[in-house]
Structure 1
């Protein structure tokens, strides 16, 4: 018998994960609240990324925590429409650049004086926030 829409377990992407604490969005009723549009989330991501100072970097996860979304959602926003913001200041949790834009991203970071060693940024030295 087919399941009735709206019943049964949540899709895995929406299931709470053990040990993971929910993070508040930027503002109450902000971009991660139910019913918000993907464009609202994108704009919130762009707003945070625009605040990262030149010479500093953040991670997809750190930006996501500030916005109230996961790191993959941050990456998607930047990949699809982040060209007008300093997208290159957002790196992976290990300090490495995204493979598809690695050379360009590391070049832009080096031009801002961000130390890069073995293809990774030292997050302890230049991490933000």
Structure 2
């Protein structure tokens, strides 16, 4: 089935909102896919956030490396060189990691939208 303009427009609008929100994640902190989805009014769309970031049109200004899974894991398919590259970028910003390789969310999570 072909997509309609409405569907494409809604997707593009959601993606733009994701990119705008990700730009707000401060250096040295991370947010989760679900957190970005919730902050954009779509709490059940974490995977859609992931897809939007996978096709990030402007990786420098849109710091998608700052987005991680809810348990602090890095994305296996990180588009810019794999999880090792993502970790190096985060470490360079001062993000804390646990011994098992996950981001220490208690220390490094952006608090926007967290209750």
Please give the range of the TM-score, normalised by the shorter of the 2 chains: 0.7 to 0.9
2:100 paired with 1:124: no
With a CA cutoff of 8 Å and minimum separation of 6, indicate the structure with the bigger relative contact order: 2
d(CA) in 2 for partners of 1:76 and 1:40? 14
Aligned length: 96
Taking the TM superposition and a 5 Å limit, the aligned residue runs for 1:1-129 are 36-69=9-42, 70-81=45-56, 83-84=59-60, 85-101=62-78, 102-117=83-98, 118-128=100-110, 129=112
d(CA) in 2 for partners of 1:75 and 1:100? 10
Shift of 1:100: 1.6
**Structure 2 unaligned regions, length at least 5:** 1-6
**Structure 1 unaligned regions, length at least 5:** 1-33
What is the TM-score normalised by the length of structure 1?
A: 0.69
- Over alpha carbons, which structure has the higher Rg? 1
What is the TM-score normalised by the length of structure 2?
A: 0.77
